[in-house]
């Protein structure tokens, strides 16, 4: 598995796929990324230390991914990230957290002490689809609540049960209300959730322009960031 990558377009940055404890939510029906997690903190810290040593600080921007939430990284890894930020003169850090961690985000921002772009795996603004089919656990009532805590949303497209209208509205809202967003095109995996191939093709034909939108990252395949397998 590749765990270090460099993005040369749009927001240029280094990306690390670190290893953390099991996702505390862990109930998303479409997600099998959590299989990368481990309860062995010594193993996690060892892997993560080697990866953090790869960071050059070339762009001053670093993104941390860990198949879950930033809060599930061991404490030793969090301190190693902070040391790397200081030593490599990182000025902007991307990381991800679930809605359940919203009240702890300000503490994490203060801990790192630099600009943080906090992402969250919303998947869709459509409450019924998001909660009844995907089981995301986001109980906000208004977009302003999301904006209060998060800078960026991750959307999922091409899933059975999703519609073109839902995707159109999701893209419009993400673009309007957030400084950054990511679109993940769903790839069949080991879960019971299945892709809608016709919907994926429609999305590709109608949303290629997102490739040129500075504030949007599109993952046509789940390894397009250069990490994972």
Task: Determine, yes or no, domain membership for 116.
Answer: yes
| CA-to-CA dists, residue 65 to 27, 42, 204, 205, angstroms | 18, 18, 25, 29
Q: How far is CA 186 from the centre of its chain?
A: 14
Domain CATH number, residue 107? 3.20.20.70
Mean pLDDT over each residue of the chain, to the nearest integer: 94
Task: Determine, yes or no, domain membership for 226.
Answer: no
Task: Determine, yes or no, domain membership for 90.
Answer: yes
Determine the longest span between alpha carbons in the chain, in angstroms.
Answer: 48
Task: Determine, yes or no, domain membership for 151.
Answer: yes
Q: How many domains does the chain have?
A: 1
Confidence (pLDDT) at 128: 96
Task: Determine, yes or no, domain membership for 224.
Answer: no
CA dihedral over 165, 130, 133, 95, signed as positive or negative:
positive
Task: Determine, yes or no, domain membership for 227.
Answer: no
Task: Determine, yes or no, domain membership for 228.
Answer: no
Confidence (pLDDT) at 30: 87
pLDDT of 74-121, one tens digit each?
999 999 999 999 999 999 999 999 999 999 999 999 999 999 999 999
The half-sphere exposure of 212 on its side-chain side, counting CA atoms within 13 A, is: 3
Range of the domain at 142: 4-219
d(CA 101, CA 6): 28
- The whole model's pTM is what? 0.93
Phi, psi of 17 (to 5 degrees): -100, 100
DSSP line for 41-70: HHHHHHHHHHHHTT---SSSEEEEE-SS-G
Res 224 pLDDT > 80:
no
Task: Determine, yes or no, domain membership for 70.
Answer: yes
């Amino acid at each position: 598995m590749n765990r270090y990558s460099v993005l040369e377009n749009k927001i240029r940055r280094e990306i690390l796929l670190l290893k953390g404890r099991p996702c505390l939510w862990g109930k998303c029906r479409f997600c099998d990324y959590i299989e990368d997690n481990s309860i062995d903190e010594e193993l996690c810290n060892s892997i993560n230390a080697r990866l953090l040593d790869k960071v050059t600080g070339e762009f001053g921007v670093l993104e941390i991914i860990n198949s879950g939430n930033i809060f599930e990284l061991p404490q030793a890894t969090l301190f190693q990230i902070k040391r790397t930020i200081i030593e490599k003169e990182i000025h902007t850090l991307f990381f991800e957290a679930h809605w359940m961690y919203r009240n702890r985000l300000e503490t994490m921002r203060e801990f790192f002490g630099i600009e943080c772009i906090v992402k969250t795996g919303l998947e869709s603004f459509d409450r019924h689809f998001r909660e009844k089919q995907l089981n995301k656990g986001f109980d906000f009532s208004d977009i302003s609540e999301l904006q209060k805590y998060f800078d960026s949303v991750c959307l999922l497209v091409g899933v059975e049960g999703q519609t073109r209208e839902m995707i159109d509205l999701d893209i419009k809202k993400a673009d309007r209300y957030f400084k950054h967003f990511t679109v993940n095109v769903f790839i069949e995996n080991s879960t019971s959730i299945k892709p809608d191939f016709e919907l994926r093709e429609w999305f590709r034909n109608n949303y290629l322009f997102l490739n040129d939108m500075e504030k949007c990252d599109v993952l046509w395949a789940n390894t397009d960031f250069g990490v994972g397998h």
